[in-house]
Amino acid sequence: MSSLKELIDLVIAGDVQGVKEATKRLLEAGEEPLRVINEALIPGINEVGVRFKEGEMFVPEMMMSAQAMKAGVELAKERIGGAEVPAAGKVVIGSVKGDLHDIGKNLVIMMLESSGFSIVDLGVDAAPEKFVQAVKEHQPHLVGMSALLTTTMPVMQEVIAALEKEGLRDTVKVIIGGAPVTREYTEEIGADGYAPDAGAAVELCKQLVN
């Protein structure tokens, strides 16, 4: 018999197979799927975020924990059936036009999904028009933009201008991130927040949604 505490520890350890087996045992023992998600899988990945922020864990370990968490959530969702899992918020996210880097974006997506956010991934090389269309279609709480190059950073401002032009800017919070992005640049282009890493992005999204 597994316990919720054991499942939390397995997520922190990034033990994908262990999380699958422990989640199955809990569900077969009659544990509620939403309790497994909310009281074990999410607290596990939240602790990973804290340790990452404090320099006690690094990107490869965090990615393994996120994969472990995702594997457990998928099993729990199967038991929920058609019922909708409450989302912490919806985020439209993408690497801006001209930028083909997606490792950081994908890490943020995994962390956000693991924390209960619903994600619309626009992929890489996403033009301002693509962000605008996604906001119209999906009505997210947040728009996240990533850029790894100084030459593509200006597109972030173009996206914000496009949202303003379409009358959508006040409907969403805009956050940005990427190696060359700074807090000063965030203020300069009128974004709502900046996250230097995936763990910080999750915390920022939670703050802005609440």
As a whole number, mean pLDDT of residues 187-198 equals 92
Q: What is the pLDDT of residue 95?
A: 95
CA distance 80 to 165: 41
The model's pLDDT over 99-147, given as tens digits with 9 standing for 90+, comes to 998 888 888 888 888 777 889 999 999 999 999 999 999 999 999 999 9
Residues 62 and 126 in one domain: no
CATH of the domain at 130: 3.40.50.280
Phi, psi of 116 (to 5 degrees): 95, 5
* Mean pLDDT confidence for 198-207: 86
Closest by CA position to 194, among listed 149, 163, 156, 141: 156
Band (82; pLDDT cuts 50, 70, 90): low
d(CA 21, CA 198): 27
Give the three-class secondary structure for 177: strand
pTM over 0.75: no
Asked whether the predicted pLDDT for residue 83 surpasses 80, the reply is: no
Examine the pLDDT at 84 and tell me if it is beyond 80. Answer: no
- Quick one: pLDDT at residue 210? 81
Look at the chain and report how many structural domains it folds into: 2
**Which of 58, 80, 102 is a domain's end point?**
80
Same domain, 51 and 117: no
Are 100 and 167 found together in one domain? yes
**What does the radius of gyration of the chain's CA atoms come to, in whole angstroms?**
18
Residues 6 or more apart whose CB falls under 8 angstroms from that of 96 comprise 125, 126, 145, 146, 147, 152, 153, 155, 156, 159
- Burial of 183 (C-beta count, 10 Å sphere; 0-12/13-18/19+): exposed
Q: Per-residue pLDDT tens for 152-191?
A: 999 999 999 999 999 999 999 999 998 899 999 999 999 9
For 11-55, how does the pLDDT look when each residue is reduced to its tens digit (9 = 90+)?
999 999 999 999 999 999 999 998 998 899 888 988 887 888 788
Contact assessment for residue 34 and residue 25, using Cβ atoms and an 8 Å cutoff:
no
Domain-terminating residue out of 22, 48, 80:
80
Q: Are residues 123 and 176 in the same domain?
A: yes
- Confidence at 66, pLDDT banded by 50, 70, 90: confident
Say yes or no: 24 and 56 in one domain.
yes
Which domain range does residue 198 map to? 89-209
Mark whether 133 and 99 lie in a shared domain: yes
Instruction: Say if residue 85's pLDDT is above 80.
Output: no
Average pLDDT across the chain, whole number = 90
Q: Are residues 167 and 197 in the same domain?
A: yes
pLDDT-based confidence at residue 1 (cuts at 50, 70, 90): low
